[in-house]
Amino acid sequence: MPWEDLKPMFRPETVHMGVLTVDAEKCTHCGLCMENCPLRAWETDENEVPRQKKEYECFSCCNCMVVCPVDAITLVDGYHVDRGFYETDPHPLPYKMPLKPLNADGKPDEWNAVERLVLERRSVRNFKDKPVPEPLIRRVLEAGRFAPSAGNCQPWKFIVITNLSLIKEMEQLIYFVLAMLHNMYKDDGTVQNLVPMYEAGGTPGSYDPRVILGGIGSIVKGNGTAFLGAPAVVLLLGDKRAIGGPLLNIGICGQNMNIVAKSLGLAFCWVGFSTVLMRMPPLLEKLGVQEPWEITNSFVLGYPRFKQEGMVPREYRPVTWFRNGSDSPQVEE
C-alpha cells in the first residue's frame, strides 16, 4: 500500500494522553503511584507532590489510582483520539466504575466472590523477590488445561520458565527487536520502512500509540523489562491448525489461569511482547518450539510487592438491546 494511505496509522494525530491529578492536601508522598505506573508518567513537584511530566504517555490504566492509600488521585480525562485511523468510537467515551449489582428482580444486591475477583483483578508489574512454588504453578496450568475450546480442539501447550538466566536472555532478545521497531517508528526518515513489515502480516494495533509509544517505549527507555522482574514466565503455545485459529482459544485458556492465579494469592500479568521470540530460531530450538506450534502470548507469575488491585473506572460503551416485544433497538444512555 502507498505510504500516504498508511500514514494515518503510523503518524496518528489528535492523540490525547490520559490526564490525572493529585490532591496535594490528601497526598502522603508514599510514591506508590509513580512506582506502579508502567509508563513512568509521573514526577514530583517542588513540594514532593506527584504530577504528570510535561512529556509523557498515559493510556488511563488507572494503576496510579488503585494503589493510592488515600484516594488522592482523580482521572480528569481518559486517553482518546479525536479523529483519524485510531479515532475513539463513540467519542468521547466516559469512564465509569462498575455498575451497581442488582438481583434478578432489579433490586440492589452484593457482588459475589467471583464477580469481585473479576472486577478487582489488575495486571501486576511489581513482584517480590520470591519464587513461586511449583505446586501452585501446576494448579494455575490445570485451570488452563480445562478451559473450553472450539470443537474441544485444546490447541495449547505451556512452557514454564523459572530459570532466571534464561528469562534474562529472552528479555535481551525482546529488547533488541523492540528497540529496532521503536527507533524506526520515531524517526521520520525510517518510519516508512515499517510498511513492508505491516504488509507481511502485521496488524494495525501493533502501531497503536499506546503500544509503540507507551509499552514498547517504556521498555526501550529502560523503565522496566519485558517480563517485569517476575520469578516465573509461562509461554503459551498455540497450534496453528486450531479450529478458528489459536488466538481466541488461548485467550480463554489464559484468562482461566489468570483468575485462578489471583485466587491463590499470586500476581499475574499478560506479556504479549513474547511473540517477537518467534523471530529467533536458535532460541526456539532451545525452547523446543516447532511447527505447527507458535508462541501466541505469555504471562508472568509472582507474589505482589504491594497491593496493586482494586476497582477503577473503565471506558463505558453503551449496550444495544433488542428486547422481546420491541421491534427497534434500544441503546443505553
Instruction: Spell out the alpha helix ranges (H) of the chain.
Output: 3-10, 32-35, 63-67, 113-120, 134-145, 164-186, 194-199, 209, 216-220, 246-263, 281-287
Across the range 191-207, mean pLDDT stands at: 91
Q: 169 pLDDT exceeds 80?
A: yes
The share of the chain scoring above pLDDT 90, in percent, equals: 94
In the prediction, which pLDDT does 155 show? 98
Cα 67 from Cα 43, distance rounded (Å):
16
Q: Give me the pLDDT at residue 13, please.
A: 92
Q: Is residue 24 classed exposed, middle or buried when 0-12, 13-18 and 19+ CB atoms within 10 A define those classes?
A: middle
Cα 24 to Cα 98: distance, rounded to the nearest angstrom = 27
pLDDT in tens, 64-81: 999 999 999 999 999 999
- Give the pLDDT of residue 178: 97
Q: Cis before residue 92, ω within 30 degrees of 0? A: yes
Per-residue pLDDT of 139-149, as tens digits, reads 999 999 999 99
Strand partners, 299: 234, 270
C-alpha grid cell, residue 256: 482461566
Question: Poorest-confidence range of 7-11, 37-41, 52-56, 88-92?
Answer: 88-92
CA atoms within 13 A of residue 1's CA, in its CB half-sphere? 15
- CA-CA distance, 161 to 233, in Å (whole number)? 5
Confidence at residue 26, expressed as pLDDT on a 0 to 100 scale: 98
Q: What percent of the chain has pLDDT over 70?
A: 100
On average, the pLDDT of the chain sits at 96
Considering only 96-100, 153-157, 196-200, which range has the smallest mean pLDDT?
196-200
Nearest CA among 174, 200, 204, 193 for reference residue 273:
174
Specify the pLDDT at position 90.
Answer: 77
| Structure-block grid coordinates of residue 172 | 535481551
110 by DSSP, 3-state: which? coil
Residue 333 has pLDDT above 80, yes or no: no
pLDDT of residue 84: 93
Does residue 89 or residue 156 have the better pLDDT?
156
Measured between alpha carbons, how far is 199 from 3 in angstroms, rounded to an integer? 11
pLDDT digits (tens, 9 = 90+) for 92-102: 789 999 999 99
The pLDDT value recorded for residue 93 is 85
All domains in the chain, ordered by first residue:
14-97+312-321 (3.30.70.20), 124-302 (3.40.109.10)
List Cβ neighbours of 51 (8 Å cut-off, separation of 6 or more): 21, 22, 42, 43, 44, 45
Among 269, 283, 270, 268, which residue's Cα sits nearest to residue 176?
Answer: 283
Whole-number pLDDT of residue 332 = 87
DSSP notation for 270-304:
E-GGGGGGGG-HHHHHHHT--TTEEEEEEEEEE-B
Q: What is the pLDDT of residue 20?
A: 97
pLDDT at position 246 over 90: yes
Identify the pLDDT of residue 138.
98
Residue 220: other Cβ atoms inside 10 A: 17
- Identify the burial level of 314 via C-beta atoms within 10 angstroms of its C-beta, where 0-12 means exposed, 13-18 middle and 19 or more buried: middle
Record the cell numbers describing residue 210, joined without a space. Answer: 499506546
What average pLDDT does the segment 178-198 reach? 95
**Alpha-carbon distance 257 to 332, whole Å?**
33
CA distance 194 to 189: 11
Reported as a single tens digit per residue, the pLDDT across 255-283 is 999 999 999 999 999 999 999 999 999 99
